[in-house]
């Protein structure tokens, strides 16, 4: 069962400010939006679409067709019920790891905070490459490797439970780890930054821009600024599929 199908975590996630107030409430949005291409007349694939915020954004900004994919049926139901562009946006329950669209199906592929859940980053990149047109844009954010390098996904604390610092623990040991998100334990996959970058390069992508957004106090909505400024939580990458 997908973790976000569990009623408790789903309710907590939908209670976040970013879930209720749209993409502009996302803490990484100030950087992420600057990486996005023009969507005017484009076919867009949104991987790990959750309640559809980025899919709807693409449609609102002129996309001719948008496909939003998420493994959680609850998230897809929410996305469908809130959609303002049902003639443009199609929502599908599917795993990112299982997408299999025909070659050249999309002009742009986007993903927000989802790729840290896929068991094989390389296989995912291959699937993205296959369905993306030559010179198509690929923009995604994911949990920063500094965050996922902490083996138990929590802060190092003193004997009284006060936060001291974030641990970089076994950074070179790639694989599944447990993270504490909204008080729930979820599985993520830790990968080195070099693995992420080199996988894109090895499979025919050009890196356009890389960012590790530093939070601004005015932008922090769901988490304490004093904690978020202590370690990078996001990694945002803009890439382009090279001509074959």
Q: What is the CATH number of the domain that holds 123?
A: 3.40.50.150
Kindly state the percentage of the chain with pLDDT values over 70.
Answer: 81
Q: Pick the range with the lowest mean pLDDT from 68-72, 176-180, 213-217, 237-241.
A: 213-217
Residues 6+ apart with CB under 8 A from 116: 142, 143, 148, 188, 189, 190
Q: What is the pLDDT of residues 190-239, one digit of tens each?
A: 999 999 999 999 999 999 999 998 766 555 454 565 666 666 788 999 99
3-state secondary structure of 36: coil
Average pLDDT of the segment spanning 162-189:
79
pLDDT > 70? residue 168 = yes
Residues 6+ apart with CB under 8 A from 62: 38, 39, 40, 41, 42
Alpha carbon separation from 129 to 24, 142, 210, 242 (Å, rounded): 28, 18, 19, 10
Q: Could you list the residue range(s) of the whole structural domain that residue 110 is in? A: 3-241
Give 28 or 62, the one with higher predicted confidence: 62
- 85 phi and psi, to 5 degrees? -135, 60
Per the structure, the count of domains in the chain is: 1
Check: CB of residue 75 under 8 Å from CB of residue 139. no
What pLDDT is stored for residue 120 in this prediction? 96
């Amino acid at each position: 069962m997908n973790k976000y199908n569990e009623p408790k975590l789903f309710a907590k996630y939908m209670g976040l400010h970013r879930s209720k107030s749209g993409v502009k409430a996302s803490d990484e949005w100030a950087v992420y939006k600057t990486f996005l291409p023009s969507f005017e007349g484009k076919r867009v694939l949104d991987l790990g679409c959750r309640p559809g915020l980025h899919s709807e954004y693409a449609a609102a900004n002129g996309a001719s067709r948008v496909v939003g994919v998420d493994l959680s049926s609850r998230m897809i139901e929410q996305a469908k019920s809130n959609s303002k562009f049902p003639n443009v946006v199609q929502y599908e329950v599917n795993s990112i790891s299982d997408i299999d669209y025909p070659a050249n199906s999309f002009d742009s592929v986007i993903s927000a905070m989802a790729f840290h859940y896929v068991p094989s980053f390389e296989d995912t990149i291959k699937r993205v490459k296959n369905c993306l047109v030559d010179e198509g844009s690929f923009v995604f954010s994911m949990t920063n490797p500094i965050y996922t390098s902490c083996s138990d996904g929590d802060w190092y604390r003193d004997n009284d439970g006060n936060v001291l610092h974030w641990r970089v623990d076994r950074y070179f040991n790639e694989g599944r780890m447990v993270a504490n998100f909204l008080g729930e334990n979820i599985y993520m996959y830790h990968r080195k930054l070099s693995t992420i970058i080199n996988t894109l390069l090895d499979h025919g992508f050009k890196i356009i821009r890389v960012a590790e957004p530093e939070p601004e106090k005015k932008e922090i909505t769901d988490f304490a600024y004093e904690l978020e400024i202590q370690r990078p939580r996001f990694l945002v990458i803009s890439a382009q599929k090279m001509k074959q």
